[in-house]
Amino acid sequence: MVEQKPSTAIYSETAALKRVLIHTPGPEIENMTPESAQRALYSDILNKQVATSEYNMFRGVLSAITETIELKPLLEKTLEQPELRKELAALLTQQTGNRETKDTLSELSAIEFTNALIWGMPVQKNTLSGYMNSERFILHPLHNIFFMRDASFCIWDTVFISRMAKTVREREAMMMSVIFKHAFSTRVVNPHNGLNIHQDVYFEGGDIIVVSDKLILIGIGNRTTSQGVDYIISQLIKAGHQEFSVIVQELPPSPESFIHLDMVFTMLSEHECMVYAPLILYPTMYRTITLEITGEKVVRISPETNLISALNSHGIDVAPLICGGRSNNLYQEREQWHSGANFFAFDNGKVIGYGQNQHTLEELSKNGYEILTPEDVISGAKKTEHYEKCMIALDGSELARGGGGPRCMTLPVLRKKQ
């Protein structure tokens, strides 16, 4: 009997989660040095033991809530097909410009190949050139891979493979392309297959928020460009979607904590969101713009006062909760830096976030959210279905130092269609 491939469908940011893809950090974190951390866009190296312990609690929560698929074993199974390993080895050789990459990878089993892709592939020291090579790896470890949100994402019935703004993350997109093309039953858009893609087309999943079957939000900044937004719209039209809107939010180029839209804005429920107030609520130089699509073209482009008023104008009555609380700008800045606005909704009004952001937790509590511990959810002592609104407070002090929160670490591929 042929095994049925899982499907994908995301029509809301807050509908009940049915299936999510994650990656538990492994040796790629242990292989991180100050030099490689800087190359991988980190400001510091992570403690693997602490990061893994925190992540295991996160994974336990997700497993108690929904179907949770680990990236590594899924990729191993997919790469059991020799022709896929050969194809991917050729792409990696082209990217690295090193023939040794293809020769070495071609000799590996599916498990060994996957390990090399994620953990890194050391330079062989069996030649003079290899011996004198100052680099430790032919393929560098993927230190960012546990931030699963970025390299691919789902909009409605379509999976997009991201065109990553940073070369160091391109391999992640290659891997996700293989997975969605061969391990899932879904429509895949891969800009890397296009011959006429504009050189400035970049987009990443942290900037994409699916509000409904007619409305998406997209952040533009360091990682997603206006050309990337135009490309996404064109591909949605090609897929047959001809009546929808896109709200675009400009993001500051610095600090690094503003890397994606979901670091300053996330949906908590159909009618509530978590925001970094100085950017989202107050007047700034960073624009909010709505694009209306009808038929096969953009029929209207108009400025908005801010993201909240733009959502309201589209019939989404959403109340903002404030990252860091309402009393002190200092708390807002500190907690936004530690991914305090980055929440992952696994159901309407039920979210996962970092527990160290105490002022943000107080804001949630004041607005009716029951604060639960991961231990209680994993053990079954407290059932999330017993609460109208709840927040599972993770200990993520080390994970947050990587530059992301629970939404960054999850790739939802199936939610209940409302």
Q: How confident is the model at residue 96 (pLDDT cuts 50, 70, 90)?
A: confident
- Cα separation, 91 vs 79, in Å, equals 14
Coil/strand/helix, residue 18: strand
CB 305 within 8 A of CB 288: yes
Q: What is the pLDDT of residue 280?
A: 97
CB contact set of 218 (below 8 Å; sequence gap of 6+): 203, 207, 208, 209, 224, 229, 232, 246, 247, 248, 249, 261
Amino acid at 402: G
Coil/strand/helix, residue 166: coil
Q: How confident is the model at residue 134 (pLDDT cuts 50, 70, 90)?
A: low
CB 200 within 8 A of CB 256: no
CB contact set of 322 (below 8 Å; sequence gap of 6+): 274, 275, 277, 332, 360, 363
Q: What is the pLDDT of residue 41?
A: 64
Mean pLDDT, the chain, rounded, equals 93
Instruction: Indicate the domain borders of the chain.
Output: 17-75+142-415
Q: Strands of 37-196 (E only): list them.
A: 67-70, 121-122, 137-139, 152-155, 158-161, 187-189
Coil/strand/helix, residue 11: coil
The answer to whether residue 42 scores a pLDDT higher than 70 is: no
- For domain 17-75+142-415, the CATH class is alpha beta
Q: How confident is the model at residue 417 (pLDDT cuts 50, 70, 90)?
A: confident
- Cα separation, 102 vs 92, in Å, equals 7
Share of the chain above pLDDT 70, in %: 94
Q: How confident is the model at residue 107 (pLDDT cuts 50, 70, 90)?
A: confident
Q: What angle do CA 325, 366, 10 make, to 5 degrees?
A: 85
287: its two tokens:
């624009």
Q: Which residue has the tokens 């392309």?
A: 177
The answer to whether residue 195 scores a pLDDT higher than 70 is: no
C-alpha dihedral sign at 335, 341, 342, 348: positive
CB 159 within 8 A of CB 184: yes
Mean pLDDT for 60-87 is: 96
- Cα separation, 219 vs 199, in Å, equals 19
The answer to whether residue 382 scores a pLDDT higher than 60 is: yes
Higher pLDDT, 145 or 254: 145
The least confident of 2-11, 14-23, 255-264, 291-300 is 2-11
Mean pLDDT for 51-66 is: 97
Task: Indicate the angle between helix axes 82-96 and 110-119, nearest 10 degrees.
Answer: 30
The answer to whether residue 130 scores a pLDDT higher than 70 is: no
CB contact set of 169 (below 8 Å; sequence gap of 6+): 41, 142, 144, 150, 151
- Cα separation, 62 vs 18, in Å, equals 11
